[in-house]
Structure 1
Amino acid sequence: MKSPRALPMTVLAAGLPEQVTIYEVGARDGLQNESAVLPTEVKAEFLHRLAGAGLRVLEATSFVHPKWVPQLADASDLLLRRLVRTEGVDYPVLVPNERGLDRALDAGVQHIAIFASATETFAKRNLNRTLDEQFTMFEPVVRRALAGGLRVRGYLSMCFGDPWEGPVPPDQVAAVARRLAEMGCHQLSLGDTIGTGTPGHVDAVLDACVAAGAPIRQLAVHFHDTYGQALSNTLAALRRGVTTVDASAGGLGGCPYAESATGNLATEDLVWMLDGLGVAHGVDLDTLVATSVWMAERLGRPSPSRVVRALAG
């Protein structure tokens, strides 16, 4: 007889949120960094299964030019013809510019995200703009989106370290966050793009953002596990009152800016920790693990998530 699966012991800790929103990025940030290009129907099924696991925010795809992200070249087809939306689930998409916004509007999107840089070098390499010029590019996108009744999320990349510039001063991150908030972004996701952050660094960045006028309730966190710090950094953010955490089912996606990067925080690993802390999240772990195993089979490689490996092994 098969033994029951392991469960974390729930030990409530003081000073944590009662509930956390998991902003699932596997279908966008995860798949865009995978070498395989999956059929559109597989992506649609993936999103359907993630919704079935209880996730209520699913970043569905990106309207970046197909030349730069061929893995998501089917964004319009996915949203207009393949995706069967689940009631109560939000399906935001990433848009890089006004052309991307046009495509998102044509697809009936209600929630978009823009992708900013906290450093000069990455802004030039990723956006072909200076740190200051990126806001000129984003301003009409945000203005038009807000005028159309859309919500706009702002991603900030390289908030903790940059492979070309090294450690990033928290005040520099806060200045970018403030400008995005003033532009009208309802939420700011602070990204540890190369995974070099540590809990004390997380505190410093959050302190700087709050001091600059971006309240904790407006901040989300997006950690990569390159150096094994994603969960400890997430816990540090939760203790400061952050209630939205980005994660990727099965740990999908790598980081192209750091050698040996293990990619995004796995949603299953996050759920296991939240269960142990008694923090509500609404996700059924068994269904989520089964979904990640299903996706790993289609990608032809095992999931890097420790929880997936432990429960599905």
Structure 2
Amino acid sequence: MTLPHPATGDPFPSPVPPGTGWPGDPADADTPVATTAAGVRRLSRRVLLDELDARVSVCRACPRLVAWREDVAATKRASFAAEPYWGRPIPGWGAPRPRVLIVGLAPAANGGNRTGRIFTGDRSGDWLVASLHRVGLATQATSLHAADGLELVDTRMVAAVRCAPPQNKPTPQERDTCAPWLDAELALVEPWLRVAVALGRFGWDAALRAFAARGYAVPRPRPRFGHGAEALLSAPAGPDGPGREVLLLGSYHPSQQNTFTGTLTEEMLDGVLGRAAAAARMAG
């Protein structure tokens, strides 16, 4: 899929500069850029969701991740050599008022880092979106590129770390530097949220940390990750009555390692996402 620039008809450069017309690009040349962990904390505060997405998409706070994602975008995988690569952080994507939030690890180097949309353009995305479609949370079964017409139904996807990391392994420092983006996004979608689905142990731990940062009570002992694991997270009670509750569900990540070996099957993934869809509906 070779995307032409809408104005010039020329191919997009790799990485894609903000404000050049890439489908769904939330940023422009004036979007402020975080270059340090302190900058992430400052720029993630007191903004609306569209502006948060824009600021996420130009973040440069982790030098190792910036170098890696941009090198991948410049060198490219041979099978995608003719395509432009996004080569920037990946903002959250989907419904702005979601009832279901899906929390993954990080974009894939030749998936989201190429297409500019989380869980798009790789086998993990193929598995996840096909399952979301089967349980009624996506309008189509494929996620190919940022202009393919896919919409999520009452669902939003986020990554705990917004840049593609080498070997899919961000460092603890990179995880912590990126965490305010997730914390801020959770705060913005929280009023509508009923269910969170964590893909893999990394997503599970990131979700628990983010909800705890919002003041939610996490059960003790701390819930352990597993496929089909469940934990009910409760917000503090207020003057209007009991606090809200969000159901956290765990699923094995739809990585090639898990799907090729049968560690995760379509039926297993449909079971967790179907449970999320049903719980979101029942919550009213």
- TM-score for the superposition, normalised by structure 1: 0.29
**Higher helix proportion, which one?**
1
* Higher relative contact order structure (alpha carbons within 8 Å, sequence separation ≥ 6): 1
